Structure 1
């Protein structure tokens, strides 16, 4: 009977191979709860705060460091440059290092090495030793910011990922403001090594708390061959670009053969780096992330805006001290209120972000940044403290609406294993644009001030009745002719610098409004953006 017949396989035939099971996907650990969540959030945020603070705390201490070590202030600026170069190179390596060693181990190791290098900075007996310690400090600090971001996202439920980003963002907003204030106070009341020693107890506590809570939440690792050529090209072009930006103004930019050479090396190295990384099987930096519309447009928006913000952050205290006559401490106090609304509004933005379109929040931030810039463009040399503080307060609200939604957009849709690489690469581009913004802003300010000075001086001649009347008025107050002319020249220089700063603020305002277009090139980030990224394990 047909249905009773069974087929017997030929005894000489090889058995059919069994299909290989699909590799098991790494199961995401559950979100943290209760005290562990609170302590974990504080530990990760403190590490970020310590890192960002150290990039700016040494700025106001350069005169003290230079005098103590017996070097010129120009040589002392290498304390800042050496950290920035090493940090800029190591940040984009976060993705590869995380895959190789695991996020938790790498993060804790970075903190401990940061503590060690901070102590070495403090005990440095000469400039060479201090620079070597700062290079180590900048290099090991690179993975800390992107890893703190990815670990924090994984600590919260998907629905609360925006709140996680808000808490993380508060530290990156406040630290750049606190750096100069704290550095100035320590230099004035203690000795400069303490700007580094304060990292030691904070770092040890942070490393201990992080390891205690996150050691059982380690990410999967695999050994990948290191992209030596890509790494070498990265070091060459980033190092050359950072040195060019840091030394450009000092060496009169492209009138210097050194700056021209550094620029050529940076451009050629960058082009070769892009070509190599595009075809390398295991790239040191995953540039294919830029194929994603949200990542590419979001990174452009956040990076250019950060460059404008950082440029203004450099110009404003300088303007207050050189034009208005504020002390360094007073200038810092005028800038400090920017953190008030940033701290108050960040948790609120984190709470409402999953319910609204992130692009509208980012748009509101850019509009506010633009309005603040236009307000500052109207400053005069007689500006009072109230007029200075109002736009600074308003800017704090813009900062709360800036980092959180754009970070959500950038990380939106990224699988969990890509978050460290995406976060590292976006932070690298943002930090780079910050350096570019600072260099371009100071250069444009200097050039525009010189132009306005020349235009104002054209009006100073014996045939100008206004000039002659002012000169006669000053001489009638007891000044001789040379004193009166000297006072008028000083006033002209102040006015020219004020007009140059106004130009910077006006240009920044226009560009902030232009950047709104890049925000709307992105697609809506569902669930607050970071939610998808955090949940796609």
Structure 2
């Protein structure tokens, strides 16, 4: 990420292949870990004796820690050098994964996930930078197509692999998996790249900015995660957290705009390409990631799927996404990124609209079809928006712009997970109330249903009421989930105009620009 006087020549032959593989593995590991726990949440919660809602923290604390550490990447690179930072991040990530695996209680698991998320922060931007420095300039778009395949397959392999490991062995192994992979990648990367270290210089760290960033991100995340349990703004804790988040955010913005070496360069938002591209990629990723977490949770809780099956039902997402990534690399330099981005959002909206018609007795085929189709907008999504975000940025601003847009995306991923859960819960409660309004002994239809339970199933009054309530709850949860998907479809359409406030971005000359495609 630092500007160098003597750029080492590109790697060649077997060294290039091995180097790219290991750098890719490190990137893949971090992306995998943002989604591998999704399907294991009900199991982890059960094992540690906490509710599924508390278990979801395993996902959100990772995203929050990850998003806070991303803006530090540029500063750390200049202090430590690219290769040292990359290798030490991998090794600490492996250590955090081991801690996650042995965690005997939720607080220790959450602590380990925070450490893991913080170490994952620099790995994605750094793996792009190392990959680009390894390949010849003219092959940069090929290198980035390979990288986008890694980043796109992570969230897809994650749930399927997580489900299989959880069902076959124990949930701890979803974290232990990283240990051999990480150690191998770190050893190979050090061997190949340590002579290609970037120059270092001592830069002041914006401590105030960092503390303010941690304060507002953490307060907002906890407020969203605990809101449901504490009944929102009737709770003093939630009110205090909201005030802290808002005040810290306002002070953070003022501080960063006046600081000489800001940790986050907010002046980037003056560029309309950066503004439109970053806001749209962040909101879209928040919607995508939030709904990605809900689907396996609903399949396990209400449809009785095993973790493995619910993971496999989300896996087809990857088929078109992987096929489409290299094709995207060919098409993009010759086309208007805004048009491709628009197609991506329309595609997402169609998929969410299809899902808003799910029903309680749905078969696996009907769940898988929209997931399979979702791979198409996934392939059209990252690269064009990244080209828009980074086109027109001077080379020295590219790492900061890449870091800030990645921060936006990861932060909204965490927020999306929390909000999707809250909305689903609230809509389920509302539908449950509406459905049970007429279920009183004075209603002849209700009496007939109870009689049917008694005569055909031989159930007593208590058991009949319990079965009826279970049926109503399943129906209410289904209707609530449909509402979430319908809202997701509308949101995807609403963000399209944001792409069109930007100037057309050409991908041809901006290979470094594409460097942060993810």
State the Cα distance separating 1:64 from its structure 2 match. Answer: 6.1
Equivalent residue number for residue 16 of structure 1 = none
Q: 1:348 aligns with which of 312, 327, 333?
A: 327
Residue 251 in 1 paired to residue 230 in 2? yes
Which sits farther off after the overlay, 275-284 or 197-206? 197-206
Q: 2:356 aligns with which of 368, 377, 393?
A: 377
Contact 2:81–2:199 (8 Å) recurs in 1 = yes
State the Cα distance separating 1:303 from its structure 2 match. Answer: 0.6
Equivalent residue number for residue 485 of structure 2 = 505
Equivalent residue number for residue 521 of structure 1 = 501
Instruction: Quote the Cα distance in structure 1 between the aligned partners of 2:218 and 2:322.
Output: 34
TM, length-normalised to structure 2 = 0.89
Instruction: Quote the Cα distance in structure 2 between the aligned partners of 1:194 and 1:323.
Output: 26
Equivalent residue number for residue 494 of structure 1 = 474
Q: Number of paired residues? A: 513
Contact 1:115–1:203 (8 Å) recurs in 2 = yes
State the Cα distance separating 1:37 from its structure 2 match. Answer: 3.4
Instruction: Quote the Cα distance in structure 2 between the aligned partners of 1:153 and 1:276.
Output: 33
**Paired residue secondary structure (1:477):** helix
Residue 311 in 1 paired to residue 290 in 2? yes
Contact 1:408–1:528 (8 Å) recurs in 2 = no
CA offsets per residue over residues 318-342 of structure 1, 9 Å max, x none? 2222333322222111111111111
TM, length-normalised to structure 1 = 0.86
State the Cα distance separating 1:395 from its structure 2 match. Answer: 0.3
Instruction: Quote the Cα distance in structure 1 between the aligned partners of 2:74 and 2:230.
Output: 36
State the Cα distance separating 1:466 from its structure 2 match. Answer: 4.8
RMSD (CA atoms): 3.0
Residue 95 in 1 paired to residue 81 in 2? no
Instruction: Quote the Cα distance in structure 2 between the aligned partners of 1:187 and 1:118.
Output: 16
Which sits farther off after the overlay, 417-426 or 55-64? 55-64
Instruction: Quote the Cα distance in structure 2 between the aligned partners of 1:216 and 1:327.
Output: 48
Instruction: Quote the Cα distance in structure 1 between the aligned partners of 2:83 and 2:429.
Output: 52
Which sits farther off after the overlay, 488-497 or 330-339? 488-497
Instruction: Quote the Cα distance in structure 2 between the aligned partners of 1:41 and 1:368.
Output: 32
Q: 1:50 aligns with which of 29, 52, 65?
A: 29
**Paired residue secondary structure (1:506):** helix
Residue 298 in 1 paired to residue 277 in 2? yes
Residue 209 in 1 paired to residue 188 in 2? yes
Larger radius of gyration: 1
CA distance 1:134–1:464, change in 2 (3 Å): closer
State the Cα distance separating 1:313 from its structure 2 match. Answer: 0.8
Uncovered stretches (5+) of structure 1, i.e. residues with no partner? 1-23
Equivalent residue number for residue 119 of structure 1 = 98
Contact 2:22–2:188 (8 Å) recurs in 1 = yes
Contact 2:273–2:502 (8 Å) recurs in 1 = yes
Equivalent residue number for residue 238 of structure 1 = 217
State the Cα distance separating 1:261 from its structure 2 match. Answer: 1.3
Contact 1:143–1:424 (8 Å) recurs in 2 = no
**Paired residue secondary structure (2:507):** helix
Q: 2:311 aligns with which of 329, 332, 342?
A: 332
Equivalent residue number for residue 432 of structure 1 = 411
Instruction: Quote the Cα distance in structure 2 between the aligned partners of 1:491 and 1:63.
Output: 21
Contact 2:60–2:418 (8 Å) recurs in 1 = no
Which sits farther off after the overlay, 158-167 or 89-98? 158-167
Q: 1:366 aligns with which of 331, 345, 351?
A: 345
